[in-house]
Amino acid sequence: MLQIEIDHLNKHYGGFHALKDVNISIKQGSFVALVGPSGCGKSTLLRTLAGLEKTSSGDVRIAGRSVIGKPPRERDVAMVFQSYALYPHMDVEHNMNYSMRLKRRPKEEISERTRTAAETLGLGNLLDRLPKALSGGQRQRVAMGRAIVRNPKVFLFDEPLSNLDAALRVHMRSEIRKLHERLNATSVYVTHDQVEAMTMADHVVVMRAGVVEQQGSPLDLYDRPANRFVAGFIGSPAMNFLPATVTDNGALVLDNDSTQIGLNRDIAAGCQFWIGMRPEHLSLKPCVNDMAIDATVTGIESTGSMTFVVLEVASQPVVLAHSGRPVTRRGDHVRLHISLDNLHLFDRETELAA
């Protein structure tokens, strides 16, 4: 069953076209990540779902009913803000049950549901604290608690983890994901961190400049990026791109270099491409169906379990990733083996995958 349908949605701020013909369908129970660089419109889209921003044209349906023109409180959605937006004058308990108090629910129900939510989130002993007496992680939990006591149709998250330190962020990722599964909720999660999007979501929507560039399952986007932007945005370290041109005899040749890439594709001569290679599909050792190029090691970064080697290939920087400890040193001349089965081609003019 579809829980959220976004249909040809447009949003203008004066002369600025913030959302351009956005179409997204979200199934009940799924976890959707909206990801993209700052200013791409992901937060605007989320706020449009919440009813905090007006739409210019198009339709938004939640549980089959159009919510265009409806105020936030009639949409049955809960939102976790980046700043948490806790009520500074209310203690944790009152922050969490504000919505129920507004609806004048019976006292027993209010305290029962508040207690359950607080225990779920490990806030049981903090109920009488004011937000200013809480740590960042605790505030984040209160913000989530405020959302879950309402038992809404849809949870909206606006970069909820960006104010936490790295360790807590990783921990909260799985907490949010677990919570999502336990509540069988539909969640829309905005983040600029593609790792967060990849690890948490069932469905990732990549946006840029108000346009949905591609959407699909995380691995689908990783394996089959629709254009150069998505290819470069998804994955860390990012995909390497080398410029190449198709010669008259149909071979793909790297610019600034005469290396020929043996591709079995029928492409017109003169076409210009970006060759996309993920760092883990490059190797210093021969592999199946590969080709080799001369390269120079210009830098090495090791995380202990992984090593990233920065190489110069055809006067372009290229990053290679391999597991384990470094096997080369800076300045070494090496043979770079490229797995031809995992090459991506992007048209240099349209940037679309070829």
Partner 1 sequence: MQGIIRTIRDGSGFDILLLGLALLYLIIFSAFPIVYNIIMSLQTVDMFTLTSFNRPFVGLQNYYDIFSQPVAGTIFWNTVKFVFLSIVFQLSIGFGLALFFQQDFPGASYLRGLFLAGWIMPALVVGAIWKWLFAGDFGVINYALTSLGIADDRIFWLSDPNVALYAVIIANIWLGIPFNMILLSVGLASIPRDVYEAAELDGAGAFERFRSITLPLMRAQLGAVISLGVIFTLQQFDLIAALTQGGPADSSNVAQYWSWQFSFQTYEISLGSAVSVLMIIFVIVVAAVYVRSTRHEHSY
Cα-based angle 269, 273, 278 (whole degrees, multiple of 5): 140
Task: Look at the block and give the residue holding tokens 């009813």.
Answer: 51
Q: What's the rounded Cα separation, in Å, for the pair 136 and 320?
A: 37
- Regarding 71 and contact with partner 1 (CB under 8 A), the answer is yes
Measured from the CB atom, is 78 or 353 closer to partner 1?
Answer: 78
Which is closer to partner 1, CB of 49 or CB of 293?
A: 49
Write down the least CB distance from residue 116 to partner 1, Å.
18
Cβ pair 262, 319 in contact under 8 A = no
User: From the CB of 86, what's the least distance to partner 1, in Å?
Assistant: 8
In the region spanning residues 75 to 114, those forming contacts with partner 1, defined by CB under 8 A, are 77-79, 81, 83, 85-89, 98-99, 102-103
**Taking CB under 8 A as the rule, which mask of x and - marks residues 239-278 in contact with partner 1?**
----------------------------------------
> In whole angstroms, what is the distance from residue 135 CA to residue 123 CA?
12
How many residues in total does the chain contain?
354
> How far apart, in whole angstroms, are the C-alpha atoms of residue 213 and residue 223?
15
Instruction: Identify which range of 31-39, 69-77, 296-304, 330-338 contacts partner 1 by CB under 8 A.
Output: 69-77
Stretch that binds partner 1, among 74-82, 206-214, 299-307, 344-352 (CB under 8 A): 74-82
Smaller CB separation from partner 1, 147 or 221: 147
**Rounded-to-integer distance, Cα 194 and Cα 49, Å:** 21
Single out the residue of 123, 117, 118, 202 nearest to residue 152, CA to CA.
117
Helix (H) or strand (E) holding 181: helix 166-183
Q: Which residues pair with 242 in a beta bridge?
A: 275
CB of 263 to partner 1, least distance (A): 51
**Residue labelled with tokens 């410029």:** 243
Give least dist CB 111 to partner 1, A: 17
Q: Do residues 78 and 148 make contact, with C-beta atoms less than 8 angstroms apart?
A: yes
Smallest distance from the beta carbon of 30 to partner 1, in angstroms?
A: 21
Q: Closest separation between CB of residue 332 and partner 1, Å?
A: 52
Instruction: Pick between residue 77 and residue 282 the one whose CB is nearest to partner 1.
Output: 77
Pairing outcome for strands 31-35 and 186-191:
parallel
Binding mask 135-154 for partner 1 (x = CB under 8 A): -----------x---x----
Identify any residues that bridge with 261 across adjacent strands, giving them in sequence order.
252
| 70-78, 186-194, 229-237, 255-263 -> range binding partner 1 (CB under 8 A) | 70-78
| Residue 352, phi then psi, degrees to nearest 5 | -80, 155
- Output the DSSP codes for 190-213: EES-HHHHHHH-SEEEEEETTEEE
Which CB, 93 or 213, lies closer to partner 1?
93
Interactions with partner 1, residue window 149-178 (CB under 8 A): 150
Residue 107 beta carbon to partner 1: minimum distance, rounded to whole angstroms: 18
Q: Distance between CA 240 and CA 231 in Å, rounded?
A: 9
Which residues, numbered 40-59, are part of the site for partner 1 (CB under 8 A)? 50-52
- 72 binding partner 1? (CB under 8 A): yes
Residue 78: which H helix or E strand, with range? strand 77-80
Closest CB 133 distance from partner 1, rounded Å: 11
CB of 164 to partner 1, least distance (A): 17
Answer whether 242's CB lies under 8 Å from 318's CB: yes
132 near partner 1, judged by CB under 8 A = yes
The count of residues interacting with partner 1 (CB under 8 A) is: 23
- Shortest Å distance, C-beta 280 to partner 1: 40
Applying CB under 8 A, does 73 fall inside the site for partner 1?
A: yes
- Paired with 154 in beta bridges are 77, 186
Q: Helix, strand or coil for residue 37?
A: coil
Task: By CB under 8 A, name the binding residues for partner 1.
Answer: 50-52, 71-73, 77-79, 81, 83, 85-89, 98-99, 102-103, 132, 146, 150
